[in-house]
């Protein structure tokens, strides 16, 4: 895989533990925000209750996973 200037920059920054922690937390936050927004859309569109519960369970599992 060819590295571009951004990926080289990120690779260099990831050597800093503080940056790495912030970057990782930011990615997790974005993932959660996206999942919650998708759940809100399902609720607003009157999605099937089973579908909403399934999405909520996925979010719950994800939170448990990142909390470890």
| Confidence (pLDDT) at 4 | 87
Contact of 59 with 32, CB cutoff 8 Å:
yes
Contact of 41 with 68, CB cutoff 8 Å:
no
How many helices (H) and strands (E) the chain has is answered by: 3, 0
How far apart (Å, rounded) are the C-alpha atoms in residues 31 and 6?
Answer: 21
Enter the pTM of the model.
0.71
Query: Nearest CA to 40 among 61, 56, 25?
Result: 56
Chain segment 4-62, per-residue pLDDT in tens: 899 999 999 999 999 999 999 999 999 999 999 999 999 999 989 999 999 999 999 99
């Amino acid at each position: 895989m060819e590295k571009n200037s951004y990926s080289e920059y990120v690779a260099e920054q990831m050597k800093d533990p503080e940056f790495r922690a912030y970057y990782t937390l930011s990615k997790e936050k974005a993932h959660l925000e996206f999942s919650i927004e998708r759940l809100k859309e399902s609720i607003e569109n009157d999605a099937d209750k089973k579908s909403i519960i399934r999405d909520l369970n996925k979010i719950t599992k994800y939170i448990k996973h990142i909390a470890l």
